[in-house]
Amino acid sequence: MSLVVYAASCLFGMAALLLCQKPHVALRDPLTASTCAAIVLGGLCFFCSAPVTLEAVNDFTGIPNFGAPMTYSVISAYSASLLILLLNWRGGPADGIRLWSVRIAAVYSLLIAAIITLFSLADAPVERLRDLDTYYANTPYMREMIVLYLVGHGACMITMCYVCLRWSREVTGILRTGLQLIMVGLAADVVGFECAKFTAVVARWTGHDLDVLSTDVAPQVTSLGALICSAGFVLPRLLPAAQVQWSSLSDYRALAPLWAELQNVPTAPKPAPPRWQLPRGRLYYRELRILDALLALQSRCDGRIRESAYRQAKAQGSTPGEADFVAAAAMVVDAAHQAGQLPPPDFPDSGGASRLHTAVFSETSELVRLSEALANSPVVRAAREGAKRATRS
C-alpha cells in the first residue's frame, strides 16, 4: 500500500512542478497558485496516509495514532483547496471569489480544529496503521472524529460534482473534457472512498466486519480517482502549451531544408541561443537566422531565375500560389550559391521581381511553405544544379 500511495504522491508533485516552473511569476496568478496548492496537498494526503509515514510520525511524537488526525487534517485542507480551485477556475468577480474562498477556508479550518480536539479527548492507545477507522469506529470521540472528516470530504466531493456537471453543459472543447475527467475522478472518490469507508464503519456499528472495504478497496480506488481528478484540472492548463510546443517542433523540422541552404550565408553576428530550449524557443532562433540570411541575399536575387522558375512550376501543374513559393525558393537557392562572391552580381532590372520580400515570409507558415518548395520541387532542384555549374565555371 505504501508503494502505491507514494507513487501517487510523486505524480502529484511532478504535476505541480510542471505548472509552477517560475514560482515568482506563477504564484501571482490566483488560478495557478490554487491549482498548485491543491495538487501539493493532494500529494501530501497520499504521503501522510502511507503506513510507513504514519508509523514514523507516531514514533517521532511518541503518541499512538498521532498520524491519524494529521492525515485527516491534510485531507480536509485538500478538500478546501479543491473548492477554492474550482472557484478560481470558474471565474467571476474577484471580490466574490475572495469572499467565498475565505468562507471555505474558515469552515474547513474549524473542521480541522474539531478533528484535533476530538482526537485529544479520545482514548486510542493501540496503534493502528491501516484499519484505524474501523478499529476505533465505536470508540467515543474517535468515532465522531472519523465521521466528521468523512462528512467534510464527502461534502466537498458532492459539491464539486454538482458544479462541474452544470459547468460542463455550458462549455466545449478541452475545458469540457477536463471537467468530465474531474467528474469521473470525483465519482471514483465518492464510491471508492466515501461509500467504502462509511459502509465499513457502519458495519462495525452493527456488529459486522467489512474492514476490507476500508483497508484494501478505499486506498486503491481513491488513488486512481485523485489522479484522474488532478488530470482534469491540469489538462486544460498544460495541453494548449503542449500543443504549441508540438507544433513548434513540427515547424522547426520543416524549416531544416531551408536552414541547411542558408546557414553559410554571411549575416550580422547574433548572441548564441541558450543551450537548452523547448521547441518554441528553438523555432524562434531558427526563424530569426533564416530571415537574417534572406535579408542578406536581397542584393543577389536574380529576377530572371524567379520568372523562369514560376513559368516552369505553372507548366508542371502548380497553382499560382504554389508557383510563387517554388519561384522564390529557386531564386533563394541561386542567391545562396553566390553568397561568397564579392561584389554582388549586377542583374538587369526586373521590375522588382528580383526583390525577395522578407516581409512576405514573416509568418512561420510562409517560411515552412518556402522550405517545403525548396526541398520537394524539381524546379528548385534544377535551379540548384544550375547554380552549382555557374559557380564552378
Query: Quick one: cell of 357?
Result: 520580400
Q: Are residues 58 and 112 in the same domain?
A: yes
Q: Are residues 241 and 266 in the same domain?
A: no
- Greatest extent of the chain over all pairs of C-alpha atoms, in Å: 102
- Domain stop point among 215, 245, 275: 245
User: Could you tell me if residue 277 is inside a domain?
Assistant: yes
Q: Are residues 320 and 178 in the same domain?
A: no
Distance separating alpha carbons of residues 228 and 230, to the nearest angstrom = 5
Q: Are residues 311 and 215 in the same domain?
A: no
> Among candidates 122, 3, 119, which has minimal Cα distance to 72?
119
User: Could you tell me if residue 361 is inside a domain?
Assistant: yes
Distance separating alpha carbons of residues 108 and 80, to the nearest angstrom = 6
Q: Are residues 278 and 344 in the same domain?
A: yes
- Side chain identity at 130, as an amino acid letter? R
Q: Are residues 282 and 365 in the same domain?
A: yes
Q: Are residues 172 and 319 in the same domain?
A: no
Count of domains observed in the chain: 2
User: Could you tell me if residue 188 is inside a domain?
Assistant: yes
Is 331:258 a contact under the CB 8 Å cutoff? Answer: no
Tell me the residue range of the domain where 124 lies. 2-245
**Which residue's entry shows cell 471555505?**
104
Distance separating alpha carbons of residues 138 and 377, to the nearest angstrom = 81
Distance separating alpha carbons of residues 117 and 137, to the nearest angstrom = 17
Distance separating alpha carbons of residues 71 and 225, to the nearest angstrom = 18
Q: Are residues 331 and 231 in the same domain?
A: no
One digit per residue, pLDDT tens: the chain, 393 residues? 555 556 666 666 666 555 555 555 556 678 778 877 887 888 888 888 888 889 999 999 999 999 999 999 999 999 999 899 889 888 888 899 999 999 999 999 999 999 999 999 999 999 998 899 999 999 999 999 999 999 999 999 999 999 899 888 888 888 899 899 989 999 998 988 999 999 999 999 999 999 999 988 888 888 788 888 878 877 887 788 788 889 999 999 999 999 998 888 877 666 666 777 888 888 999 998 898 888 888 878 888 888 899 999 998 888 988 999 999 999 988 888 877 665 555 555 544 444 555 445 668 888 999 999 999 989 888 888 887 776 665
Q: Are residues 223 and 99 in the same domain?
A: yes
Q: Are residues 97 and 178 in the same domain?
A: yes
Distance separating alpha carbons of residues 92 and 30, to the nearest angstrom = 12
Q: Are residues 281 and 203 in the same domain?
A: no
CA distances from 359 to 143, 174, 251, 356, 389 (A): 74, 35, 18, 9, 31
124 φ/ψ angles, rounded to the nearest 5 degrees: -135, 75
Query: Quick one: cell of 201?
Result: 464503519
User: Could you tell me if residue 49 is inside a domain?
Assistant: yes
Is 325:370 a contact under the CB 8 Å cutoff? Answer: yes
Q: Are residues 222 and 345 in the same domain?
A: no
CATH value at residue 129: 1.20.1070
191 backbone φψ class: left, alpha, beta (φ>0; ψ -120 to 50): alpha
